[in-house]
Chains A and B, each alone.
Chain A
């Protein structure tokens, strides 16, 4: 778990690897190819890298037209600009059209901690997962990123990949198999199950180690595909755990926690708590300090779980 990798580079390198095999794959950027991980791609295939400048709305439309003519565009940009500025183009030109375009929001969540609300992306999952036909994925480590990009390229249809810029440790082994729509049990425990995604998974695993030391039986589930949800796994988990806590670097409105709650409230009502960025205009400043402020640091997760367990105990005692 020691070596750290920039998820954007892992992503861009994998797109390049696939492009070597598949001439339909093209890389698209809007004035940020370098920080979208497309540097090596550009060098290797300059004619298959399309730069559209600061035109996110029309860049999505161009991607749709390219896809309708047989290309497979991977368009990567700063998250809010590729999910929200051009939302209607994503809705009509990709989801409704069912265009084979892969949009990749980078520096997701609070990664642009200093740059403030305009650059932080806290509502992207909420808005994109509400679109029919869209697949939403958030890979958690370099191995999952590589496997996920391969699967996304194979899948015919529009996909949204959410990636960060904060460096990630590797915790999967090379045997790991990724399937779209499948979650993963990383750890079992019946007191509480933590369900998380993307760059929050390794933090949650670190927190879980501390919690186990404290005698709390904690389960950890990774949900790299937020849409479609792995309903089978969720049902199974909801039957095994007393409490579920969802953890995400996204608003608590509409994200992973909401998706899990929507499903389980109908299929197997369970006590679900959501840890994420509250429904406020987010803070600016050093990344780890903001994460700590919203209880998304390792200690924040540990304390949130302890409080929930305490609450559960006292409500049991009162019964």
Chain B
């Protein structure tokens, strides 16, 4: 199945809206994890607007597909997409990072509908998602579980434990997506701790693995819509992305992992994302 031009332009508009929501949240919260939230926007947009079987009116629907944001610091992207999808009133986005807000610096499933797991500490999400996928197998349900991780995150040993278990239990309903923007807090992932070669590693752990351009809707759509590629094997999609994608001054710059914007930067962001006319 291929994506149509019409669908692509639709998704592009949604992705732009998600980035705009994030800028506004960072403005009201006076800071936030910009880089990773922007690098995964196309992936998250494609998931929520063309792949996930979900119902914002019934967030706990038993047959829903699950999306786990293992890299919990990218919560701005999650909050933005959940609001856009209609899980809660968009006005709530203005409360980001305020006292006891339902939108804290890392997602909390007790506070916001649509959040599946309390992530923040890295390396937890694949196991939680794996447990959900395993429960689906036990109950003979056909839902899928998508887990988004960062390429810095996969240095955590717990990720590889979960990868082993998923392979052992043949969880072909579990899809790991690695937002490989090649940067982490301290700089280049390959310099901080080289986690390459990703493709060979995941393959050797029994995962059906392939690489895509994580900003190209055609590639994202093709990869995710063809799941399961191979019966009985969990799937790993390595999505090559650009940290801070969409803001010229933040792109590929690890200093924008967490962004405390100056007034001037905020003005620039408004101009680049054509927000002054909103």
Contacts and interface: CB of A to CB of B under 8 A. Distances in A.
B133 interface: yes
Interface string B135-163: 11011000000000000000001100110
A156 to B, nearest CB: 14
Contact of B133 (A48, A52, A65): A65
A69 B124 contact: no
B128 interface: yes
A58 B127 contact: yes
B27 interface: no
Given A53-B168, A57-B158, A92-B120, A64 B135 contact: no
Contacts of A58: 126-127, 130, 158, 161-162, 165
A93 B135 contact: no
B164 interface: yes
Give chain A's interface residue range (CB within 8 Å of chain B).
20 to 34
Contacts of B125: 61
A89 interface: yes
Contacts, number: 98
B127 A61 contact: yes
A64 B128 contact: yes
A50 interface: yes
B110 interface: yes
A3 interface: no
Contacts of A64: 117, 127-128, 131
B130 A61 contact: yes
Given A71-B135, A92-B121, A57 B130 contact: no
Given A55-B164, A55-B165, A63-B131, A68 B116 contact: yes
A65 B132 contact: yes
Nearest to B135: A69
Contacts of A175: none
A65 B129 contact: yes
Interface of B: 62, 108-110, 116-121, 124-136, 138-139, 157-158, 161-162, 164-165, 168
Given A53-B168, A57-B158, A61-B162, 13 more contacts: A48-B138, A53-B165, A55-B161, A58-B161, A62-B130, A64-B128, A65-B117, A65-B133, A68-B116, A68-B128, A70-B139, A89-B158, A92-B121
